[in-house]
Amino acid sequence: MVISNLKFIVDHNVGKLAKWLRVMGYDTLFFTGDGDWQMVTTALAEGRVILTRDTQIMRRGVVTSGRLKAILIQSDEPKQQMQQVVETLNLDTQFRLFSICLECNQPLEGRDKQHVKDRVPLYVFQTQSQYMECPTCHRIYWRGTHWQAMLNKLERFKGS
Ligand SMILES: [Zn+2]
């Protein structure tokens, strides 16, 4: 069974995970503050799973008691890190593909073609019909070739 309401907080030492979890559509904060305590507090308050390479966090009482879920990432390599997360939590890599901003973690909003006319390159406008906009940073997303490249990468995160 796939758990659909998982949310994450990604430690700065495994930052690449944030982008890929957002690509899949999982609400993911990227923690850049200092002090583990701040990350732990946010995770507890918002019900987020911590992803980290920091063994200290794993020894905290809130984690060992099971009140807070944290995953100790084993590898240095982003692909293997993603494989570990996907396998451990049985994540759906196609969960809500490309539904949140990769920069801001905000849900994207649909935009019609005319609305983005002057904001995307002409060749994109001529070939794409569906667009999404981030309400925070106003970046426009569309299903171009980079989407396909990301989809292919997502496939490789699944266990063999
Ligand atoms: Zn944004």
Q: What's the CA-to-centroid distance between 107 and ligand 1, angstroms?
A: 9
Q: Which residue has the tokens 């890190």?
A: 81
- pLDDT of the residue at 26: 95
Is pTM beyond 0.75? Reply is yes
Q: Which residues surround ligand 1, an ion (CB under 5 A)?
A: 101, 103-104, 134, 136-137
Q: For residues 28 and 96, give the distance between their C-alpha atoms in angstroms, rounded to a whole number.
A: 13
Classify residue 68 by its DSSP letter: S
Q: For residues 146 and 149, give the distance between their C-alpha atoms in angstroms, rounded to a whole number.
A: 5
- pLDDT of the residue at 94: 86
Residue ranges in the chain modelled with pLDDT below 70: 1-4, 159-160
